[in-house]
Structure 1
């Protein structure tokens, strides 16, 4: 009796549980995108690391504004002597009472200053061309409070506070934070190393002549890019013929040449006469089984020379659906990356039939109006429909179909697409 999808998902998770303990490595920030942080990370410095100006303007002492209207200024303004300008990147001299220092955005606030008046509020509202003779005077609005337009030390994060937690997936914002904290490297969890083998005498490498009865190989490209997108290292990716001896020889060479955490194959696991993977691994603790799922019914799971092994069907859509349903979720659960596919409920735009005893996974286009349109049929060879889809549509076992307008569960593969009307296309 075929296993259910949930049963096979649990088996894959248990098989791959060692991936949760692969250890850690330190890599440059440029190589850390999509990697998972291995440990809590305290901030080595404060951000900002010094009080600085939020605006181009004048650094002032708010105490100079306590008696607005005195000293020759008109009511509502304060006249202050202009001090030396403060560009970004310098340590300024202290600011004395009665002075205003031209300061640029991000520049260090001088000792004694506790506020900034934007240049737009000054009279004149442009900076003087020189400041050295001490004769320049600027009128600034009264009522300037302490801390106005000042970025205080540690207002973003204080030194010693936790910047990022272990398990954080490092994307551009997180890597930007680490760079701002002065960190050139980061400790991340090691990625699983995967050996990918596709099989088939009928398969030809893209770019080569296509003889009659042959097809181009889509599996190595489809599965390799999917695996790499899921954050693993694909150490080798090969297309092999349906010959048991050469298949085993190449497999053993690949295992001997370097560490492998998981072997994945595409094709050769069904009950046909030329199922090379099934024949080659007959003496290994590998189970060639069936899952009540369409597409992707044939599956293989076990160990090959003590290395975890998963065998996917050879039809390209079946292989990708198998990856999405079984391997990708296990990687997310055990290694922290990739993130789970966003799951939504959507309104089906048409009736969909389904084998009652099978969990059907259809391809669809989800639109931002909350509807999902099926593309292609249920067949496992429809690569063009797969390329058009941005969602996997789940039709659970035990149902003979779903009517148009009913809700279905979907996994988003890409961002929603705006549904276009005929008028919009014209």
Structure 2
């Protein structure tokens, strides 16, 4: 009897239940923290901006002294960014530049374009100002004592800039997951070892190893690459045993079906525990989860697109949770399909698509699980529920690859 297909949501929920955040953290330079997950809240010790400052090059004024257009005021001081402003003398304007502190007494900035010179050290105001215009108030970005970045946030360029803006040169981040990666299959050949014209019948270059290693590294993992393991039980068992010694996760590609040459299942079972799951997704379906000692084990399907997408949907959120991240899954958006998908499938489908200039989605013509060019051509996936057809113009759920690959 074939095992029942499991829904993706149920499989992911169970998988995340096994993912206890890793113990330990480290302090790293803010320069080196891109992609890492914060282990401790970042609390601002200051206001940003620290004081009211000008949003424009222009003149600081008192609105009550400019009732009409054309008022001429003497320029009493010049305030560049980084300088200290003096109180604004009554009946005068202060020349001010973007980012410079607003002088005490001023209540508006007249931008340079709304003024003109009116003789030596005088300025004519061409437009009546409104109170508060072009003034950035102290603390309007960040207030003192505010948690600006929370534990569990994943750090990117904007987050690192904000951390630097409150004076943090070092950040406490979660420990990197240690991942042992290997592929199985005597048919796999490493690029550079055999020329294309010399490839034996049935052999293929090992593409999965390259994209999985890159995906893991982008997610902040320390990768121990075991390469290709021969299709023999003893070799597979030895590789898994060694990988389990110092890994948080063992990740394999291929060898998780029930064929006579698929040795991952018995090898893992001889050393620990293993469940073979049939996930109701397309591409993909076979997936394995188990434990070997303290290491988690996950086995992905061998077809490249199946392996790629199964990693994105199941392995990626698991590894993020190991790091204590709180944002684990992507946020789809509704976009119109500029294609038809007339044949429904009993599995939930993830179709490779690309946004077009008209604001819709085009479909890659070959949705086979072995066609890796679909992942290169596409910039996202349509999450299509089981049993659903798609007509041209229908609204579909789009998940951008840029979010999944970050």
In which range does the TM-score fall when normalised by the shorter chain? 0.7 to 0.9
Measured against aligned partners, the alpha-carbon deviations of 1:281-320 in whole angstroms (never above 9, x if no partner) come to: 2312113454454443332211112311111122212212
Larger Rg: 1
Q: Name 1:13's counterpart in structure 2.
A: 16
TM-score by length of 1: 0.77
* CA deviation after TM superposition for structure 1 residue 122, in Å: 3.6
* CA deviation after TM superposition for structure 1 residue 145, in Å: 5.6
Secondary structure at the residue paired with 1:83? strand
Q: Name 2:264's counterpart in structure 1.
A: 277
What is the correspondence of 1:231-270 to structure 2 with a 5 Å cutoff?
231-240=219-228, 241-256=230-245, 258=246, 260-270=247-257
Q: Name 1:164's counterpart in structure 2.
A: 149
Q: Name 2:371's counterpart in structure 1.
A: 382
User: 1:120–1:270: structure 2 CA closer, same or farther, 3 Å change rule?
Assistant: closer
Secondary structure at the residue paired with 1:58? strand
Secondary structure at the residue paired with 2:160? helix
* CA deviation after TM superposition for structure 1 residue 215, in Å: 0.9
Moved more, 403-412 or 115-124: 403-412
For 1:341 and 1:165, the matched residues in 2 are separated by 20
4+ long deviations beyond 6 Å: none
Q: Does 1:287 align with 2:275?
A: yes
* CA deviation after TM superposition for structure 1 residue 216, in Å: 0.4
* CA deviation after TM superposition for structure 1 residue 331, in Å: 4.5
User: 1:200–1:107: structure 2 CA closer, same or farther, 3 Å change rule?
Assistant: same
Secondary structure at the residue paired with 1:245? helix
For 1:292 and 1:76, the matched residues in 2 are separated by 71
Alignment root-mean-square deviation, CA: 3.5
User: 1:207–1:342: structure 2 CA closer, same or farther, 3 Å change rule?
Assistant: farther
Secondary structure at the residue paired with 1:160? coil
Among residues 63, 83, 100, which one is paired with 2:93 in the alignment?
A: 100
Among residues 344, 349, 374, which one is paired with 2:339 in the alignment?
A: 349
For 1:348 and 1:25, the matched residues in 2 are separated by 48
For 1:223 and 1:408, the matched residues in 2 are separated by 31
User: 1:62–1:298: structure 2 CA closer, same or farther, 3 Å change rule?
Assistant: closer
Secondary structure at the residue paired with 2:34? coil
State whether residues 244 and 294 of structure 2, in contact with CA within 8 Å, keep that contact through their aligned partners in structure 1.
no
Measured against aligned partners, the alpha-carbon deviations of 1:247-298 in whole angstroms (never above 9, x if no partner) come to: 4434444443x4x221111112222232232242231211345445444333
- Paired residues, what number? 391
Secondary structure at the residue paired with 1:281? helix
For 1:293 and 1:114, the matched residues in 2 are separated by 61
Secondary structure at the residue paired with 1:282? helix
State whether residues 115 and 145 of structure 1, in contact with CA within 8 Å, keep that contact through their aligned partners in structure 2.
yes
Q: Does 1:340 align with 2:325?
A: no
Measured against aligned partners, the alpha-carbon deviations of 1:178-214 in whole angstroms (never above 9, x if no partner) come to: 2222222333344433221112211111222142122
* CA deviation after TM superposition for structure 1 residue 98, in Å: 4.0
For 1:364 and 1:136, the matched residues in 2 are separated by 62
Secondary structure at the residue paired with 1:269? coil
State whether residues 347 and 371 of structure 1, in contact with CA within 8 Å, keep that contact through their aligned partners in structure 2.
yes
* Structure 1 residues not aligned, in runs of 5+: 69-74, 129-134, 417-426
TM-score by length of 2: 0.81
User: 1:372–1:245: structure 2 CA closer, same or farther, 3 Å change rule?
Assistant: same
What is the correspondence of 1:361-376 to structure 2 with a 5 Å cutoff?
361-365=350-354, 367=356, 369-376=359-366
* CA deviation after TM superposition for structure 1 residue 45, in Å: 0.9
Q: Does 1:150 align with 2:143?
A: no
Measured against aligned partners, the alpha-carbon deviations of 1:114-154 in whole angstroms (never above 9, x if no partner) come to: 443333344417xx8xxxxxx74444468556544333322
Q: Does 1:174 align with 2:159?
A: yes
* CA deviation after TM superposition for structure 1 residue 323, in Å: 1.6
Q: Does 1:83 align with 2:70?
A: no
Q: Does 1:35 align with 2:36?
A: yes
State whether residues 266 and 313 of structure 1, in contact with CA within 8 Å, keep that contact through their aligned partners in structure 2.
yes
For 1:172 and 1:187, the matched residues in 2 are separated by 16
For 1:170 and 1:113, the matched residues in 2 are separated by 39
For 2:69 and 2:349, the matched residues in 1 are separated by 74
* CA deviation after TM superposition for structure 1 residue 392, in Å: 3.5
